[in-house]
Amino acid sequence: MTRLLLSLLIAGLLAGCRTEQSQTEKSETRDYPEPQYSLTNDQTHSRWSRLIEPVLTVPSGSVIEVYTEEASDGQLTPESTVEDLDNLDFDPIHPLTGPVYVEEAEPGDVLKVTLHNIELGDWGWTAVIPGFGFLADEFDQPWLKTFTFEDGGSSARFSDEISIPLKPFPGVMGVAPDTDEMLSTIPPRYNGGNMDDPHMVEGTTIYFPVFVEGALFSIGDTHAAQGMGEVCGTAIEAPMRIVYEVEVLKGGRSIPEPEYESDDYYAVTAFGETIDEAAEKATRYMIDYLVAEHGMDRYDAYALASLAGDLKIAEVVDVPHMLVTMHMPKEVIGME
Which residue stretches of the chain have pLDDT < 50?
A: 1, 3-4, 6-8, 10-27
The predicted structure's pLDDT at residue 29: 57
Q: What is the DSSP string of 161-214?
A: S-EEE---EEEEEE---S-SS-EESSSEETTEEE---TT--TT-EEEEE--STT
What are the beta bridge partners of residue 328?
Answer: 266
Alpha carbons 311 and 197: distance in angstroms, whole number: 13
Residues 225/196, Cβ–Cβ less than 8 Å: no
* Beta partners for residue 209, in sequence order: 110
Per-residue pLDDT, 27? 44
According to the model, what pLDDT value does residue 336 have? 72
C-alpha 115: how far from its chain's center? 11
pLDDT at 28: 52
CATH fit for domain 22-258, picks 3.40.50.620, 2.60.120.10, 2.60.120.580, 3.40.50.300: 2.60.120.580
List Cβ neighbours of 314 (8 Å cut-off, separation of 6 or more).
Answer: 188, 195, 196, 197, 198, 199, 228, 229, 269, 323, 324, 325
